[in-house]
Amino acid sequence: MLAAVRRRKRLRMLAGAAGWTAVLLSGWLVLRAELAARSGSLTKLSAEVGRWVFHSRTVCRLECPQDVVLALDDPIFMETGDGQFVQVGFVSDVDGTRSRSAKKVRSARAVIYRKALSRFSGGVELRWHATPMNLRWVMQMLIPPERRAEIVALVQEEWGRHQRHVIAELKPVVKDGLRRMVLAIEAEVPAILERHREDFQRLGRRFEMDVLQRQLLPLARDEILPVVQEEVQPLAMEIAAVLWDRVSLLSFAWRYLYDVSPLPRRNAVRQEFERFIDEEVVPELESRTDEFVEVTRAVLRRLMNNERVQAGIRDSLVRMAEDRLLQKLVWDMLKEALLENERLHEQIDLWLSDRATQAAMRDASDRMELMVRRIGDLVFGSRQTGVTPEFARVLRSQILSKDRRWLVMVPADGTGDTTIIPVAIAQEPMLYPQRFAGTAQSPLTPEFPRAPRSPVPQSERP
């Protein structure tokens, strides 16, 4: 009797276990089919996790001839035959501790699939890559050339639609604001110049000694004056000859005798000279204006083609621009005229609080709001489509501190020993080889044509 009860209990347990096994297996198959239909990346990820758990791994030593930045769990990738990348390992030890902070090292340890290492029987090398941590990379990532073209087309379209009205509204208020600012700066300029009078005098003495006397005067004497003499002398001699033919020595001599005589009238020579200048010299010079212009052009052409003149002027300008006293003087004056000018700040506040200014700016903002929102959707994404892949990369690297460093396995000449793997800094730029959101380019504005993606600039090096 007792044996029969035990047998029935055992049968019920077996039946229950079989039933739950069938339910779990069915649920797994349904879930896998659903995931495969909705997201192939999750299925691929689960398969890779399975391979990582059940396949054998090996610990390798990484050696680099120069410092590289590494941290625990920095991924190691291998390129597959279809041009994709799969993760085949990770950095497991950097400095012997479990600290997850990135450090500059020349050696580390990594865990890598043996199956991946077996593909590099002739030798393997790891290429170190890093995501740049600067604003230039962020801007190039968020606004690549094809997206920049979309934004330019959008701005041109919206601006062309509202240009006339916006300019008509903003022009008078902007003109009034500039007028107020200019008057405020002009009122402060005399006091600024007076405060820096001694600086100007000291700067003038320095430039007179260092630049004028030592550089420009020798340059003018040796290079500029000979050119001017060669070009101007023929025309000057011709004019002198014409005027000499017109001058009356007898008339000047007679008037000179008249001036030195005891007669009451004086200044006869001066009057004759002024008449000669007004009636003979000035008309002759005015009639040769075109010749003077041509001579000036010839002088300038020769001076511009003279390498010594170019080098001398360039050196003088560079020396003046690099002068610390001049730089400090300019900055101090700009700071006092713009940043520390209380009168200017008051005028700007009054201008911004003016009702006409606020109304014009509000009207322009209302008309351009749709354009700004569309640009935001282009760059960052929208609620309907999600964030763009480019913005996702920026968020992961710059905000979440993800995807900042990675290593890529490449073939190398060697003995095939995989216990010690050399690491070299990659010379070619590369994006982090895995995507986490969006597609190649989010279809935010289908009315704009799409251009091919452009490469990202060289990664930062340690």
Q: Report d(CA 431, CA 62) in Å as an integer.
A: 22
Q: What is the amino acid identity at position 416? A: G
Q: What was the pLDDT predicted at 407?
A: 94
Q: What was the pLDDT predicted at 266?
A: 61
Q: Are 227 and 295 in contact (CB under 8 A)?
A: no
Q: Report d(CA 158, CA 436) in Å as an integer.
A: 33
Q: Report d(CA 444, CA 457) in Å as an integer.
A: 25
Q: Determine whether 137 is exposed, middle or buried from the number of CB atoms within 10 Å of its CB (0-12, 13-18, 19+).
A: buried
Q: Which residues 6+ apart lie within 8 Å of 292 measured at CB?
A: 235, 285
Q: What was the pLDDT predicted at 253?
A: 56
Look up the pTM and report it: 0.52
Summarised one tens digit per residue, pLDDT across range 322-366 is 788 888 888 888 889 888 899 999 999 999 899 999 998 888 888
Q: What was the pLDDT predicted at 6?
A: 65
| Residue that has been written with the tokens 């941290």 in this structure | 71
Q: What was the pLDDT predicted at 233?
A: 81
In the structure encoding, which two tokens stand for residue 424, read together?
Answer: 């070299």
Nearest alpha-carbon partner for 80 in 108, 47, 116: 116
Which of 189-196's residues contact partners 24+ apart within 8 Å by CB, and which partners? 189/337, 192/333, 192/336, 192/337, 195/336, 196/329, 196/332, 196/333
Q: Which residues 6+ apart lie within 8 Å of 116 measured at CB?
A: 78, 88, 89, 409
Residue by residue, what is the 3-state secondary structure of 187-244?
HHHHHHHHHCHHHHHHHHHHHHHHHHHHHHHHHHHHHHHHHHHHHHHHHHHHHHHHHH
Summarised one tens digit per residue, pLDDT across range 426-457 is 988 888 887 654 444 444 333 333 333 333 34
Residues facing 409 on adjacent strands:
78, 126
Q: Which residues 6+ apart lie within 8 Å of 192 measured at CB?
A: 333, 336, 337
Per run of 10 residues, the mean pLDDT along the chain (length 462 residues) is 64 66 64 54 53 68 91 91 86 86 91 87 89 89 90 89 88 91 90 88 78 73 79 80 67 55 60 72 80 83 80 78 83 89 91 90 87 89 85 88 91 78 89 65 38 39 36
Question: Where is 408: in which H helix or E strand?
Answer: strand 405-411
